[in-house]
Chains A and B, each alone.
Chain A
Amino acid sequence: QQQVKQSPQSLIVQKGGISIINCAYENTAFDYFPWYQQFPGKGPALLIAIRPDVSEKKEGRFTISFNKSAKQFSLHIMDSQPGDSATYFCAASRSSGNTGKLIFGQGTTLQVKP
């Protein structure tokens, strides 16, 4: 119940295309859903995050779509650029009964071809 399942494991997109990464969770107590971007040799960097009271959040070319009833959320990268090539992790945590534990998906390696 603590798992966050992420798909696909890898993704190749042409420059200018839309990249879509999906995550699913089981624990309905999760109430914070961030996405992280990690470049080789670097730590993950927070990209965008959402809470369950909204169904969508957009920041520039990055959008999170959240479906509470399906317990799924996804990251959409519009107009994908070669500089977006990185590994993306979804994650989830809960505020109540705070465990301080951010549960990560397994990661998606995105390659954007020029």
Chain B
Amino acid sequence: EAGVTQSPTHLIKTRGQQATLRCSPISGHTSVYWYQQALGLGLQFLLWYDEGEERNRGNFPPRFSGRQFPNYSSELNVNALELEDSALYLCASSLASGGGYTFGSGTRLTVV
């Protein structure tokens, strides 16, 4: 069974640009979660998508947004990039929210 796949692995952007990160969940998983892992700040919840709808978002500004497609894959968009957006962005999926999540290996976003 393929795990959660994320692309790209690494992304370098200039401050003010936009970044798009992609995630494919495990087959059969309908919920997708996005987390930010910044150095020294642990894992911060960003967004939860289920059945194509945004169900919850963490304490992040509106320039962090995303969507979930009919095939349950998901996209995270970060607009007007700031230096402090540099982090590892992790996607996870699950069958039913509140249970065990399976994480991808993440996208390392560097803003210069």
Contact = CB atoms under 8 A, between A and B. Distances in A.
**Interface size band for A:** 20 to 34
Interface of B: 4, 31, 33, 35, 42-43, 45, 48, 50, 55-56, 58, 90, 92, 97-106
Interface of A: 32, 34, 36, 41-46, 49, 89, 93-95, 98-107
Contacts, number: 56
A3 B94 CA distance: 22
Which label, helix, strand, loop or mixed, suits the secondary structure of the B interface? strand
A95 B98 CA distance: 5
A98 B90 contact: no
20 contacts: A34-B100, A34-B101, A41-B105, A43-B90, A43-B103, A43-B104, A44-B90, A44-B103, A45-B103, A46-B102, A89-B43, A93-B98, A98-B97, A99-B55, A100-B31, A100-B33, A102-B45, A102-B101, A103-B45, A104-B35
A39 B48 CA distance: 24
